[in-house]
Amino acid sequence: MERLSRREWIGLVLIGLAMTSFAIYPRVKKISSSPEIEKIKTLKSVSEQSKELTKLLERVGPVETQEQMLRSGLPFTGETHLLIHTIGTYTYDKYGLGGLSYCRDYFLSACYHGFIINALADNGLNGVAEAIESCETAGIGVAPQCAHAAGHGFLAWHDYDLLKALQMCDALGEKVSNFYYFNCYDGTFMENIWGVHNGVPSEKRWLKDSDIYYPCTDPRIADKYLRGCWSNQATRIYQFYKQDLKKTAEACDAVIHPGYKETCYNNFARQIHPLTKDDNAKVLSLCSYATGENWKNYCILTILTSAWSVGNRTNVFELCPLLADPVQANCFSRLVDQIIYYYPDKNTRKIYCLKVSSPTHKTRCLDA
């Protein structure tokens, strides 16, 4: 099986499920919410919630607002992700291109998404390049999220012309050092499926009911863009088959190219993740829809990484012991890799290393 590169893997798991779920993920201990956040919880419309969030922003500023939202108990993904775009917009409007440092990578870096999209609208490609350069030093995982946000914005900017948006990703990469090209491509194709930044999904999106693999099958899409396309195609297939996981898995399994098949299955697993609500029994149950033992195990390991990437620091440690070797060993290795990546500080890392139940992997984690 062809493997995803490290950069592609990090991009996939950090992007996670921003547009696909309303699942609530365990996080830091909940504190008393401000009146604005309590009001947000009673509202159903993102536009109405945004008005309350703006009141909070004006009262305590963007950094404190994000800290309060982190501890609010609201979902990490789905509509909360879109709501946090408001913070990015507010921050850009108040501080300009230099305000990106006020964003935090909470809620799948949604503040960065909102900021980048507004920088594009006002300043074009040079403005985005100026803002995105600072993402490299803004925190772990932020740089790929900023590139992903740019992809979303480029497609909306070009009125859902995929080819022009993808070419804009390439142009941005020429201006930004260490640019995450894959994540920009991925954001472009994700926007093509969801169309969230224009309110109502655009009729110009590149989708066909006659071809569940489109636009990945369009000959105009160059090979270098196809990994980004397939990283979203299981979501499209899942929608087409009206949330039938078995048919979605079978469709991924039918992809001939081994690398794209893996990427499709990666998206399949990330599609499942919010359905589990971080119940490990459901992880095992829903991944059983995958075709064959190898893909079932791949699904489980991908969900482990996705759960960690969106903030699960509790029962994610209980998943690996449920598995049999050699999958269990792979699971512990992946868990330790996440801890090391997210917590370079040894003292902080120790807190999580000690939760690893495998002595061998716990030692590797502590000694990293």
Per-residue pLDDT of 158-182, as tens digits, reads 999 999 999 999 999 999 989 999 9
What's the whole-model pTM score?
0.83
62 touches 88 (CB < 8 A): no
What is the mean pLDDT of the segment spanning 255-281? 95
Q: Is the pLDDT of residue 19 over 50?
A: no
Could you tell me which residue, 139 or 102, shows the higher pLDDT?
A: 102
Distance CA 322, CA 225 (A): 37
Neighbours of 368 (CB within 10 A): 15
- Comparing 6-10, 78-82, 285-289, the range with the smallest average pLDDT is 6-10
Residue pair 183/141 in contact (Cβ under 8 Å)? The answer is no
Query: 38-79 pLDDT, tens per residue?
Result: 999 999 888 999 999 999 999 999 999 999 998 898 876 668
Say whether pLDDT at 25 is over 60: no
For the segment 207-233, the average pLDDT, to the nearest whole number, is 97
Q: Give the pLDDT confidence score for residue 106 in this predicted structure.
A: 81
326 upstream amide cis, omega within 30 of 0: yes
* DSSP symbols for 29-94: PP-PPPHHHHHHHH---HHHHHHHHHHHHHHH-HHHHHHHHHTS---SSHHHHHHHHHHHHHHHHH
The two three-digit tokens of residue 179, written as one number: 């640019």
Is 175 buried (19+), middle (13-18) or exposed (0-12) by CB count in 10 A?
A: middle
CB 142 within 8 A of CB 134: no
Cβ-proximal residues to 152 (8 Å cutoff; 6+ apart), any chain: 113, 117, 187, 188, 190, 191, 196, 197
Q: List C-alpha distances in Å: 364 to 221, 328, 358, 367.
A: 43, 16, 10, 5
Q: What is the pLDDT of residue 145?
A: 85
DSSP state of 198: G
